[in-house]
């Protein structure tokens, strides 16, 4: 991973995969997950932190509570039918709502405790589903209560499997349903508080296993959890005492892990054909179809948080085949097709802060589809597309930019046959005069697509092509589709694709002049991995995203580790659980990308983003310091 700086996360945490919030109450309400979702004490005053089960706890007196997060993206982790786990230690003689995500009109997800019952709920208007454990947990003893939801059932686990139950839970919760997220308080008909102690409150964006729950249950204060190796302790913001002593426990060998931020929404209605491109280390431009209109927005990245400017329409008519490429920090080129007969057009976006203005539109083709555009330099871009007016041949053209004006060179055919990738053509820039294009090319029939790549050499506005090189041959009923690629260095690219034989597969392409050779196929998605995207972080790491349409109906993401032509894959993480079937990603720095995607929440196919950070992390062990 070169000399890049990597954020060290979760020094204390026994379970890190999918951790999105961790309030440990060690003298403050800091979120120790590293995601920045700190709590606040309400309505006023200063909380007390007496001795807890693990270290310290927060004491709630029946008139105060913790606002655990006002960010809508955090509350949306509980909406739709997404997977989640919430765990905490409680100690009480009175009980109440230990935690709740709610809206003030009896729609809520919560944990309630009284003298006879512990109840986990997914409630809608007073109905919905809940599960009860009949037992007195108001006994002034510590109890670990874990609630989790797997998309079909709601579970409760108390004291490491001592008490367990589950219930079918099918209520589909609309995005933006909730307006409050609190520990120790709800207000439906009237105010209801919790009285007692809470320790080690954690939220995960997945379902924890029994073994992971055991690791939470056995966590004690007689030691601290430290990684066997920490890449950069300057990124740890906890106590110097822990940092200095953790230095003593360095050992060789690390793994790469992904940390996913909360989900933020840039379009809450209907978003399609999403494309994103980096402007600088804190800004990206997103282009998409908003109810069929061509639309763009600026995303501002601050650590793991994303905020947006206003939406700006670049084509107030039916639009399709949208793609965007930043030319410099304040300019981008957007290519798209209008409605039938689908003329291919391009426009320059000028960015000032989070505001966007557009120049005139310029037409590059009479009937284009599956467009993609990439920057060659600050005044030139290459556009590749299927030319529907020329027998669906794969075609490329150079765009020259002067201010907001665009002129085009001649069209050049790279594939004299119907090219198809079932999404925009895969395109990567090797240097300012060379590009690699990957596509499906018909082999003996219009739907028998060989996975093929070709090198384009650019001289001014002229383009020449080397020979096509096949990376996957069509076999019986196994075409190559959903192709994506990104550049590792000037002579190597990573290509991901789908076919019903290999499922989701990855190959490394090695380029010598205009010749291409390939390594063996490495399977990254044994499921039906479609609508794929790949984004390189450095020469040996990339992030792969895909939609698993084999039944889970969710978007998944993982690290690809590249060693020559060999590729191995890290842990699979869930990007989104709600029918995400269009996605793109933008490189931000050598440890971070922004993932942009559409998601099929009930009543909404809106556009969303997450910051995805790669961290180096060792195996965990308990040590007495």
CATH number for the region 257-617 comes to 2.120.10.10
Q: How far apart are the first and last CA of the chain?
A: 31
State residue 197's pLDDT score: 96
| Biggest distance spanned by C-alpha atoms of the chain | 80
Question: Which of 515-548 are b and which e, b meaning 16 or more Cβ less than 10 Å from the residue's Cβ?
Answer: ebebbebbebbebbbbbbbbbbbbebbbbbbbbb
Residues 6+ apart with CB under 8 A from 164: 155, 156, 157, 158
Q: Looking at the whole model, is its pTM more than 0.85?
A: no
Q: What distance in Å separates the CA atoms of residue 281 and residue 301, rounded to the nearest whole number? A: 8
For CATH 2.60.120.200, the residue range(s) in the chain are: 19-223
State residue 554's pLDDT score: 76
Q: What distance in Å separates the CA atoms of residue 269 and residue 370, rounded to the nearest whole number? A: 23
Q: What distance in Å separates the CA atoms of residue 277 and residue 298, rounded to the nearest whole number? A: 10
Dihedral (CA of 394, 395, 401, 407) sign: negative
For CATH 2.120.10.10, the residue range(s) in the chain are: 257-617
Could you tell me how many residues make up the chain? 625
Instruction: Say whether the peptide bond before residue 341 is cis (omega within 30 degrees of 0).
Output: yes
State residue 232's pLDDT score: 38
Residues 6+ apart with CB under 8 A from 415: 393, 394, 439, 441, 452, 454, 468
State residue 74's pLDDT score: 64
Whether the CB-CB separation of 610 and 82 falls below 8 Å is answered with no
User: How buried is 484 (Cβ within 10 angstroms: 0-12 exposed, 13-18 middle, 19+ buried)?
Assistant: buried
Q: Taking phi first (over 0 means left), then psi (-120 to 50 degrees means alpha), and beta for anything else, what does residue 269 get?
A: alpha
* Pick from 324, 335, 331: nearest CA to 279: 331
Beta bridge partners of 165: 156
φ, ψ for residue 253, nearest 5 deg: 95, 115
Q: Which two tokens stand for residue 100?
A: 């709740």
φ, ψ for residue 237, nearest 5 deg: -105, 10
* Pick from 601, 600, 609: nearest CA to 581: 600
Q: Which two tokens stand for residue 487?
A: 């550049």
Instruction: Say whether the peptide bond before residue 43 is cis (omega within 30 degrees of 0).
Output: yes
* Pick from 268, 269, 371: nearest CA to 321: 371
Q: Looking up tokens 């097709």, which residue turns up? A: 337
Q: What distance in Å separates the CA atoms of residue 201 and residue 23, rounded to the nearest whole number? A: 5
Whether the CB-CB separation of 503 and 580 falls below 8 Å is answered with no
Dihedral (CA of 219, 222, 227, 233) sign: positive
Q: What distance in Å separates the CA atoms of residue 455 and residue 464, rounded to the nearest whole number? A: 8
pLDDT, averaged in runs of 10, over the chain (625 residues): 31 74 89 84 92 89 86 64 88 90 74 88 71 89 92 89 84 66 80 91 90 79 37 38 37 55 83 94 95 94 91 94 96 94 95 97 92 96 93 94 98 84 83 94 66 95 96 69 92 90 87 96 81 92 87 81 92 76 88 87 69 63 33
Residue 243: its H or E element: helix 240-246
* Pick from 26, 435, 358, 356: nearest CA to 201: 26
How distant, in Å, are the alpha carbons of 48, 54, 110, 128 from that of 140?
18, 16, 21, 31
Rg of the chain on CA atoms, in Å: 26
Q: List the beta strands (DSSP E) in 539-590.
A: 541-548, 554-563, 566-569, 573-576, 582-589
Q: Which two tokens stand for residue 196?
A: 């007692």
Beta bridge partners of 568: 561
Dihedral (CA of 186, 80, 24, 46) sign: negative
State residue 263's pLDDT score: 77
Please give the CATH topology (third level) of the domain spanning 19-223: Jelly Rolls (2.60.120)
């Amino acid at each position: 991973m070169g000399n890049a700086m990597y954020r060290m996360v979760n020094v204390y945490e026994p379970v890190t995969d999918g951790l999105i919030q961790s309030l440990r109450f060690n003298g403050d309400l800091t979120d120790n997950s590293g995601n920045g979702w700190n709590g606040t004490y309400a309505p006023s005053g200063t909380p007390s932190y007496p001795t807890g089960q693990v270290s310290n706890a927060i004491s709630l007196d029946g008139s105060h509570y913790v606002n655990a997060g006002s960010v809508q993206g955090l509350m949306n982790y509980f909406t739709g039918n997404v997977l989640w786990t919430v765990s905490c230690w409680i100690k009480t003689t009175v009980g109440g709502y230990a935690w709740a995500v709610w809206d003030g009109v009896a729609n809520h997800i919560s944990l309630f405790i009284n003298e006879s019952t512990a109840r986990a709920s997914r409630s809608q208007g007073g109905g919905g589903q809940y599960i009860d454990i009949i037992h007195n947990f108001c006994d002034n003893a510590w109890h670990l209560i874990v609630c989790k939801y797997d998309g079909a059932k709601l579970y409760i686990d108390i004291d490491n499997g001592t008490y367990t139950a589950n219930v079918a839970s099918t209520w589909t919760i609309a995005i933006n349903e909730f307006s409050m997220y609190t520990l120790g308080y709800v207000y439906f008909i009237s105010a209801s508080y919790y009285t007692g102690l809470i320790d080690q409150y954690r939220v995960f964006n997945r379902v924890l296993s029994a073994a992971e729950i055991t690791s939470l249950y056995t966590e004690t204060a007689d030691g601290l959890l430290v990684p066997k190796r920490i890449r950069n302790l300057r990124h740890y913001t906890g106590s110097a005492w822990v940092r200095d002593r953790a230095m003593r426990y360095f050992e060789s060998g690390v793994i790469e892990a992904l940390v996913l931020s909360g989900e933020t929404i840039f379009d809450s209605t209907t978003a399609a054909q999403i494309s994103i491109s980096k402007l600088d280390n804190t800004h990206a431009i997103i282009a998409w179809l908003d109810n069929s209109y061509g639309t763009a927005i600026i995303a501002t990245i601050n650590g793991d948080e994303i905020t947006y400017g206003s939406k700006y329409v670049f084509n107030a008519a039916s639009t399709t085949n949208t793609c965007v490429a930043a030319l410099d920090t304040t300019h981008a080129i957007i290519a798209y097709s209008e409605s039938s007969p689908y003329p291919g057009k391009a426009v320059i976006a000028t960015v000032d802060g989070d505001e966007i203005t557009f120049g005139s539109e310029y037409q590059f083709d009479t009937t284009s589809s599956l467009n993609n555009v990439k920057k060659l330099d600050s005044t030139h871009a290459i556009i590749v597309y299927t030319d529907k007016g020329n027998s669906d041949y794969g075609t490329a053209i150079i765009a020259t930019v002067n201010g907001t004006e665009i002129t085009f060179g001649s069209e050049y055919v790279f594939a004299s046959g119907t090219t198809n990738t079932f999404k925009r053509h895969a395109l990567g820039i090797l240097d300012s005069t060379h590009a690699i294009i990957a596509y499906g090319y018909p082999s003996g029939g219009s739907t028998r697509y060989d996975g093929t790549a070709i090198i384009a050499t650019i001289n001014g506005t002229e383009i020449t092509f080397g020979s096509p090189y096949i990376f996957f041959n069509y076999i019986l009923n196994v075409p190559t589709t959903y192709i994506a690629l990104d550049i590792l260095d000037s002579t190597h690219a990573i290509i991901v694709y789908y076919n019903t034989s290999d499922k989701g597969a990855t190959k490394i392409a090695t380029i010598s002049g205009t010749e291409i050779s390939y390594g063996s196929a490495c399977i990254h998605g044994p499921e039906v991995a479609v609508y794929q995207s790949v984004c390189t972080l450095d020469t040996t790491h990339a992030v792969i995203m895909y939609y698993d349409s084999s039944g889970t109906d969710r978007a998944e993401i993982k690290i690809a580790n590249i060693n020559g032509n060999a590729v191995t894959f890290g842990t699979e993480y869930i990007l989104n659980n709600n029918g995400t079937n269009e996605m793109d990603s933008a490189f931000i720095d050598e440890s971070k990308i922004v993932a942009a995607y559409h998601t099929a929440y009930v009543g909404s196919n809106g556009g969303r983003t997450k910051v995805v950070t790669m961290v180096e992390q060792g195996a965990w062990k308990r040590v007495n310091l």
